[in-house]
């Protein structure tokens, strides 16, 4: 086998070992806690719905607690919040001066 072939095999073995190590570390790592019980039981854990997503066609949930809303509504509300966050991030990026 040529020198280039040996180098390629060595590189592939190194990549394989690195990927296996990363996989072991990911499996061992505990996923981050999204919210503590104290946070969920606090004033922001069960917020009042302030608006209805544009595409929502079910019952009006505005003014209701999130725990009283259907799961489909909460999915659309989360999508709407994600859209606004992306839009805000891209708008902020455009306004920031280059370093």
Work out the angle at residue 24's Cα, subtended by the Cα atoms of residues 19 and 29, and round it to the nearest 5 degrees. Answer: 125
pLDDT of residue 99: 43
Distance CA 78, CA 70 (A): 13
Please list the alpha-helical segments (H only) found in 29-65. 37-41
- pLDDT at residue number 57: 94
Encode pLDDT of 44-81 as tens digits.
888 899 999 999 999 999 999 998 999 999 999 999 99
- Domain positions in the chain: 1-32, 37-95
pTM: 0.53
Would you state the structure tokens that stand for residue 81, as one six-digit string?
């919040």
pLDDT value, residue 72 = 96
Task: State pLDDT tens for residues 11-47.
Answer: 999 999 999 999 998 888 877 667 788 888 887 888 8
How far apart CA 31 and CA 20 sit, in angstroms, is: 19
């Amino acid at each position: 086998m040529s020198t280039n072939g040996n180098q390629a095999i060595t590189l592939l073995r190194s990549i394989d070992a690195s990927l296996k190590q990363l996989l072991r570390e990911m499996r061992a790592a505990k996923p981050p806690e999204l919210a503590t019980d104290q946070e969920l039981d606090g004033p922001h854990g069960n917020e009042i719905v302030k608006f209805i997503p544009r595409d929502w066609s079910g019952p009006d949930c505005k003014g209701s607690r999130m725990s009283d809303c259907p799961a489909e509504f909460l999915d659309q509300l989360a999508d709407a919040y994600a859209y606004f966050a992306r839009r805000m991030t891209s708008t902020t990026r455009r306004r920031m001066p280059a370093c």
